[in-house]
Amino acid sequence: MNSLEEMLEHYFGFTEFRPGQKEVISSLLAGKHLLAMLPTGTGKSLCYQLPTYALKKPTLIVSPLLSLMQDQAEQLKVRGEKRVLTFNSFLTLQQKKAALSQLSSFRFIFISPEMLALDYVIRAIQQIEIGLFVIDEAHCISQWGYDFRPDYLNLGEARQKLGEPLTLALTATATEEVRKDIIEKLEIKDMKQIVSTVDRHNIALFVEKLSRYEEKLERLVQLVQQFSGSGIIYFSSKKAAESVSEYLHNQGIDRVAYYHGGMEPDQRMLIQQQFITGQLRMICATSAFGMGVNKPDIRFVIHFHLPATMESYVQEIGRAGRDGEQSAAVLLYSDGDEGLPLHLMEQQLPTDAQVEGVHAVLLKSGEGMMDILKPMQEQLCQQFSLNEVQFRMIAQFLATKQDVAKPIELFKQYCYTRKSRNAQKLDQLLQWVRGSACRRVGIVQYFEENQAVNNPVCCDCCGMSIEQVMERWPHIVERQQADSFYWKRELASILCIKGTKE
């Protein structure tokens, strides 16, 4: 196999690359370290999967979320790729050892950042030759990114220990500032950037202002009856996702369920699969839903609450229309909605008093930091009323400093800066929501693109209406819900048993 197109057809069964893919792959195969920003839903994973076959060496993929990692691994396996490893804290010590001793037999090695921080893991990876080092959701490395993960800060060091392998940092949404920060933190001098537009031309954009919560509910019911096909409705709280799902159900709208991080993993799995297979038409979800959900025909995304940043908004609406067909995103806004994300952001960062309190305890004990921080988590969290995110933040910061006695002003300053940054980001989103200029232009400008936008099916500000979008909607045959349930017949049909009587 010579050309990239031949490989594309052979391994993936596609005849054409999506925009941006070929450029990324060619650059990598030319040996260039790369930061690639490709919008959600444009086939980012192919950008490292195809080069892996070309390079004929294992690829190491760092992924921030366990569920995302598993989804990607399962997708590879379903495609027929067997040499896939997910290396994370779910594995038992025995499984970890077994996996590490036969690392070179895998083609795709997914790993969580905290595993990559462990010496024995690094040592094992050093024994094999990594062809490609991939950092998925690379914006997590930047403190200015909207989804900063302290674990990601170790990646630069880990990469060096692995002998600076060919590197691909992938993200869907990163401003210029964040991209600069990613490259700095990874300490790669000659990193090339490929940035394609964040604009998704087949998603029509709508913001609707409503005066009260009840009006929002009413409008939501209208919308989901008007739209055909699958959709996601995003909420900022688990409770709202549950109660609105129930409300819709009571309004006679069927095949709708809720999904959030508070549910047991196996129950979440069922809902996700029901949605992917079309058994469910709609999901009322928190932001926990979506990453790794590979469903091409999601027709609409509705935001019942305001997301915290433009980045998360763009990520979330990007789940619609991966099949290229006409889709729609509707944000329902009423005055005062910004209070909720503001409150949620506050909760992510510890206050001065909390930082000082934990620090004082550590000073007193005077032992190795991580040794005491972990076992004391529950006590410390209770004593200073810290939530898990806040605790991880403090732990990560204090652990990276060599000396406990070091002044913590730096960290307090960081928290402060970050709080005002968050407020600023929310404010930018609010201006976009309240504004009357073209929505698409607004998004593109936010990401500092000099992209001309010219789209006949654009947004509410360009005079588009939902009805007009519906005229371009693909034809969708809705599934009928089964009317009766008889266990024996059901069991027989699952196992393909013929000739059973009731």
Closer residue to another protein, CB minimum distance, 77 or 434: 77
The reply to whether 254 sits near another protein by the rule CB under 8 A is no
Q: What is the smallest separation between the CB atom of 250 and another protein, expressed in angstroms? A: 11
Considering only CA atoms, which of 476, 138, 58 is closest in space to residue 298?
Answer: 476
Q: What is the smallest separation between the CB atom of 274 and another protein, expressed in angstroms? A: 5
Q: What is the smallest separation between the CB atom of 385 and another protein, expressed in angstroms? A: 15
**One-letter amino acid for residue 29 of the chain:** L
The reply to whether 93 sits near another protein by the rule CB under 8 A is no
Closer residue to another protein, CB minimum distance, 210 or 288: 288
The reply to whether 496 sits near another protein by the rule CB under 8 A is yes
d(CA 81, CA 110): 14
Closer residue to another protein, CB minimum distance, 95 or 222: 95
The reply to whether 490 sits near another protein by the rule CB under 8 A is yes
According to CB under 8 A, which one of 91, 210, 288, 399 is a site residue for another protein? 91
d(CA 114, CA 90): 12
SS3 track for 243-295:
HHHHHHHHCCCCCEEEECCCCCHHHHHHHHHHHHHCCCCEEEECCCCCCCCCC
**Proportion of the chain in helix, strand, coil states, percent, rounded to 5:** 45, 15, 40
Closer residue to another protein, CB minimum distance, 343 or 488: 488
Closer residue to another protein, CB minimum distance, 427 or 490: 490
Compute CA distances 142 → 179, 213, 224, 393, 397, whole Å: 8, 36, 37, 14, 14
Give buried/exposed letters for 376-415 (b at 16+ CB in 10 A, else e). Answer: beeebbeebebeeebbbbbbbbbeeeeebeeebeebbebb
Q: Are 112 and 148 in contact (CB under 8 A)?
A: no
DSSP state, 48? Answer: H
The reply to whether 78 sits near another protein by the rule CB under 8 A is yes
256-285: contacts with another protein (CB under 8 A)? 257, 263-267, 269-271, 273-274, 276-277, 279
Q: What is the smallest separation between the CB atom of 307 and another protein, expressed in angstroms? A: 26
DSSP string, 408-445: SHHHHHHHHHHHHHHHHHHHHHHHHHH--S-HHHHHHH
- Interface with another protein (CB under 8 A), residue total 33
Q: How many residues does the chain have?
A: 502
**One-letter amino acid for residue 496 of the chain:** C
Closer residue to another protein, CB minimum distance, 346 or 490: 490
129-188: contacts with another protein (CB under 8 A)? none
d(CA 52, CA 138): 19
Cα 105–Cα 131–Cα 13 angle in degrees, nearest 5: 80
d(CA 285, CA 345): 19
According to CB under 8 A, which one of 180, 249, 392, 418 is a site residue for another protein? 249
Closer residue to another protein, CB minimum distance, 270 or 423: 270
According to CB under 8 A, which one of 420, 494, 499, 501 is a site residue for another protein? 494
d(CA 373, CA 388): 13
Closer residue to another protein, CB minimum distance, 42 or 70: 70
Q: What is the smallest separation between the CB atom of 291 and another protein, expressed in angstroms? A: 15
45-74: contacts with another protein (CB under 8 A)? 70, 74
Q: What is the smallest separation between the CB atom of 502 and another protein, expressed in angstroms? A: 12
Q: What is the smallest separation between the CB atom of 297 and another protein, expressed in angstroms? A: 16
Q: What is the smallest separation between the CB atom of 338 and another protein, expressed in angstroms? A: 31
DSSP string, 355-413: HHHHHHHHHHH-S-HHHHHTTTHHHHHHHTT--HHHHHHHHHHHHHSS-TTS-SHHHHH
430-489: contacts with another protein (CB under 8 A)? 485, 487-488
The reply to whether 497 sits near another protein by the rule CB under 8 A is yes
Q: What is the smallest separation between the CB atom of 269 and another protein, expressed in angstroms? A: 6
Closer residue to another protein, CB minimum distance, 118 or 497: 497
Q: What is the smallest separation between the CB atom of 18 and another protein, expressed in angstroms? A: 22
Binding residues for another protein, rule: CB under 8 A, are: 70, 74, 78, 80, 90-91, 95, 249, 257, 263-267, 269-271, 273-274, 276-277, 279, 485, 487-488, 490-497
